Structure 1
């Protein structure tokens, strides 16, 4: 097992990509702090995973002290911390007209500042274990879509945080920091979100080749498989890296005018 007995915090792990990562690392022998906002989904996740190697915290990352409570729970339960996966995020639509100062601050608080505070809270324990931080970003960090302005800005900030700490922390604390930028992923909430945008019930079965050359979009389990590599010892000394996981190139690609009504993440 590639992660045997490693203690890992995975934020936002009661649904979607986070849940898939929690499931994958548990399969590789890890112990996981499961985190989310909804108690019912948290209880369902623990029932699905089993309680032997999981513990649950249901709390908003934007609350004062939540990052420290997540770290304390891991250490209290298992006596150490080996890895932190900053996956939780607020995926919310906005453009320049609908984004004001308070809204932008809230998105940055959840998507950029909370991960930073979690890293700070976890750092002394990660230093002891020569551990790793894995941030889950988005391909929208590179520029984003017109209707994902605040979200895209927050993911750009997270990417810079990864690059900066990924350079500094291996030298000062022996802790590696890397990031995965998922493309368009078929999560439960993405299915609901697109239906709310007016797409059909089975919209994901007929994705234009422009967005899905393979004929489908990514699955959460495929992001989770990549996450295991970055959390495991086999990724060696690699740090400060941001890896885009999408099925087409992002730079210099010509999207049609209606791109913002189709693509998401």
Structure 2
């Protein structure tokens, strides 16, 4: 088992990628503390994973007390903390015209500031076991789409945080900090979001080649499996790194001539 006897804190862990990571960690021998916003989902996940292997704490990670409470939950339940997965995210569309101050403050609070504060709260415990942090970013961190302006900015900030702390914390505390940038993932929320945007119910069965050369997008489970390396001791001394999980190159991609119309809603 690759994570035997490790304790992993996962924000945004009740659904989607976070839930898949939690399940994967338990399968590999870890104990997990999962966080989310819907109490029923938290209860259901702990029931599925087993109370001996998991605990949950329902709260908004932007609350001032959240970082300390999350860490306290892990220590009180399992006696240690080996890894933090900053997975919780606020995803919403905005562009140069529609992005307003309260909106972008909320975006940055969830996606950039809260992860920093959680790492800060967890650092003493991570340092004592030479633990690690894995930040879940997005390929949009490299620039993003016009209608994902604020979200892309927040993930770009998270990526810089990873690079910065991945160097300083590993040198000073022995704590590795890395990040994965997933591409388009078929989560429960993504299915609902696209339906609300006017796309057909089974939109994910007909993805244009420009977005999915494989004729499909990623599953949460595929992202979770990739996380195991970064959370395990197999990662060795690797720190301050960002890995893109996408089907095509993000930088320098050769777009087909008809790409402009390939993303239109159906």
Does TM-score exceed 0.5, indicating one fold?
Answer: yes
Q: Provide the residue aligned with 2:144 in structure 1.
A: 144
Q: Provide the residue aligned with 1:99 in structure 2.
A: 99
Deviation (angstroms), 1:260: 6.4
Contact 2:210-2:262 at 8 Å conserved across structures: no
Q: Provide the residue aligned with 1:88 in structure 2.
A: 88
Q: Provide the residue aligned with 2:10 in structure 1.
A: 10
| Distance in structure 2 (CA, Å) of the matches to 1:23 and 1:112 | 25
Whether 2:46 is the aligned partner of 1:43: answer: no
CA RMSD of aligned residues (A): 1.2
- Return the TM-score normalized by structure 2: 0.96
Q: Provide the residue aligned with 1:23 in structure 2.
A: 23
Corresponding residue SS for 1:210:
coil
What aligned pairs does 1:239-254 form with structure 2 within 5 A after superposition? Answer: 239-253=239-253, 254=255
| Distance in structure 2 (CA, Å) of the matches to 1:64 and 1:149 | 26
What aligned pairs does 1:201-240 form with structure 2 within 5 A after superposition? Answer: 201-240=201-240
| Distance in structure 1 (CA, Å) of the matches to 2:45 and 2:35 | 10
Q: Provide the residue aligned with 2:126 in structure 1.
A: 126
Whether 2:260 is the aligned partner of 1:257: answer: yes
Deviation (angstroms), 1:44: 1.4
Whether 2:155 is the aligned partner of 1:155: answer: yes
- Return the TM-score normalized by structure 1: 0.96
Q: CA 1:205 to 1:30, structure 2 compared with 1: closer, same or farther past 3 Å?
A: same
Q: CA 1:103 to 1:242, structure 2 compared with 1: closer, same or farther past 3 Å?
A: same
Q: Provide the residue aligned with 2:79 in structure 1.
A: 79
| Distance in structure 1 (CA, Å) of the matches to 2:159 and 2:212 | 24
| Distance in structure 2 (CA, Å) of the matches to 1:152 and 1:260 | 19
Corresponding residue SS for 2:46:
helix
Give a deviation string over 1:37-79, Cα, whole Å, max 9, x none: 0111111111221211101100001111101100011011111
Corresponding residue SS for 1:247:
coil
Contact 1:147-1:260 at 8 Å conserved across structures: no
Contact 2:21-2:227 at 8 Å conserved across structures: yes
Of 45-54 and 214-223, more deviation after overlay is shown by 45-54
| Distance in structure 2 (CA, Å) of the matches to 1:199 and 1:82 | 42
Contact 2:37-2:60 at 8 Å conserved across structures: yes
| Distance in structure 1 (CA, Å) of the matches to 2:264 and 2:133 | 33
Deviation (angstroms), 1:252: 2.5
